[in-house]
């Protein structure tokens, strides 16, 4: 039987390790990062375009470091901004999000909403982030001011896609867009965006907050060149050398963040699949402000002509 002294030391070491990990996870949740990827999407002869992908900002009024960092993204001078939702985390967040995005709202922009644009976040057991999506949705908390956010985006000229098609021309390149409402809340209406992607456009993008397979399959089968999504937080808690443990949807953890193909393929430019970019996002649930081996991010996607 272990001695009392051994038990005391073991308990002390366990508590110390737990405190160190929690401190690190809280620190990493504020290490905002710009990730850059190059995607061959454009027709031959088109000039490269810079697309800034924002997702899962989860803004709360007290997150001043995040607000300052977000303001600085305007220096990237993107040609197009795509916001894949979960912007809010507080009833008073709308003016803060708008102020933090600042000059980005003067750029052409497209948005879809996620569950945390619609409903206030609530406390949840952190261990639930380590298990697969259980199908239950948080719709019992008060509504957030998503209508105001949608209107303010529209006032600045941004296009909001809620189970509908859109079209935007940037730098001489025409984008045909389709966007669904949040699949995590089952608000997506794939019938409303049915049919083949617009072949007359230069680039075809399918946009969603949560990368549920039913949505990804729909976009890929319809011929969209790329699918843009968020929601997963990149797993939020990852194991170094292994990666994400979960995605909070039915997408497999191996594609929890970054640039991939859908259906999954190891062949770049596989004509049977679309590019898929999943952002690890900028924020967390305000009650669980930690990340492990998965820094918060925005992604600058440089679109170049196809080989």
Residue 120 burial by Cβ neighbours in a 10 Å radius (0-12, 13-18, 19+): middle
Residue 204: per-residue pLDDT: 98
Residue 6: per-residue pLDDT: 47
- Residue 14 in tokens: 């366990």
Residue 18: per-residue pLDDT: 46
Q: Any idea of the CA torsion for 184, 190, 192, 198, to the nearest 10 degrees?
A: 120
**Alpha-carbon span 116 to 281, nearest angstrom:** 13
- What residues contact 186, with CB distance under 8 A and at least 6 apart? 137
**SS3 for 9?**
helix
Residue at token pair 């025409």: 174
**Alpha-carbon span 168 to 151, nearest angstrom:** 19
DSSP string, 23-62: HHHHHHTT--EEEEEEEEEEPTTPPPEEEEEE----B-TT
Residue 7: per-residue pLDDT: 45
Q: How far apart are the first and last CA of the chain?
A: 68
pLDDT by position in tens, the chain (length 307): 666 554 455 444 455 544 455 677 788 988 999 999 999 999 999 999 999 999 999 999 999 999 999 999 999 999 999 999 999 999 999 999 999 999 999 999 999 999 999 999 876 665 565 555 655 667 889 999 999 999 999 999 999 999 999 999 999 999 999 999 999 999 999 999 999 999 999 999 999 999 999 999 999 999 999 999 999 999 998 999 899 999 999 999 999 999 999 998 767 667 779 999 999 999 998 888 889 999 999 999 999 999 8
**Alpha-carbon span 132 to 136, nearest angstrom:** 11
**Alpha-carbon span 230 to 237, nearest angstrom:** 16
Residue 135: per-residue pLDDT: 57
Residue 115 burial by Cβ neighbours in a 10 Å radius (0-12, 13-18, 19+): buried
Q: Any idea of the CA torsion for 40, 174, 204, 276, to the nearest 10 degrees?
A: 40
Are residues 241 and 118 in contact, defined by beta-carbon separation less than 8 angstroms?
no
């Amino acid at each position: 039987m272990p001695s009392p002294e051994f038990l005391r030391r073991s308990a002390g070491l366990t508590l110390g390790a737990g405190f160190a990990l929690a401190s690190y996870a809280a620190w990493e949740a504020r290490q905002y990062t710009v990730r850059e990827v190059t995607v061959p999407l454009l027709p031959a002869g088109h000039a490269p375009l810079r697309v800034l992908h924002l997702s899962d900002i989860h803004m709360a009024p007290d997150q001043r470091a995040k607000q300052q960092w977000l303001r600085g993204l305007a220096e990237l001078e993107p040609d197009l901004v795509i916001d894949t939702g979960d912007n809010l985390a507080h009833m008073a967040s709308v003016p803060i999000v708008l102020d933090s995005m600042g000059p980005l709202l003067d750029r052409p922009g497209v948005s879809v909403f996620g569950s945390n644009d619609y409903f206030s976040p609530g406390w949840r057991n952190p261990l639930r982030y380590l298990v697969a999506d259980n199908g239950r949705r948080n719709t019992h908390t008060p509504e957030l001011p998503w209508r105001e956010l949608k209107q303010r985006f529209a006032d600045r000229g941004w296009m909001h896609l809620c189970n509908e098609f859109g079209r935007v021309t940037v730098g001489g390149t025409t984008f045909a867009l389709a966007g669904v409402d949040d699949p995590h809340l089952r608000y997506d209406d794939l019938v409303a965006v049915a049919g083949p992607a617009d072949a007359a456009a230069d680039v075809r993008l399918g946009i969603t907050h949560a990368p549920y397979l039913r949505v990804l399959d729909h976009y890929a089968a319809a011929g969209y060149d790329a699918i843009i999504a968020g929601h997963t937080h990149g797993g939020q808690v990852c194991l170094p050398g292994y990666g994400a443990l979960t995605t909070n949807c039915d997408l497999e953890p191996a594609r929890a963040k970054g640039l991939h193909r859908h259906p999954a393929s190891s062949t770049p430019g596989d004509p049977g699949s679309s590019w898929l970019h999943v952002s690890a996002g900028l924020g967390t649930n305000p009650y669980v402000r930690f990340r492990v081996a998965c820094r918060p991010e925005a992604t600058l996607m440089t679109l170049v002509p196809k080989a």
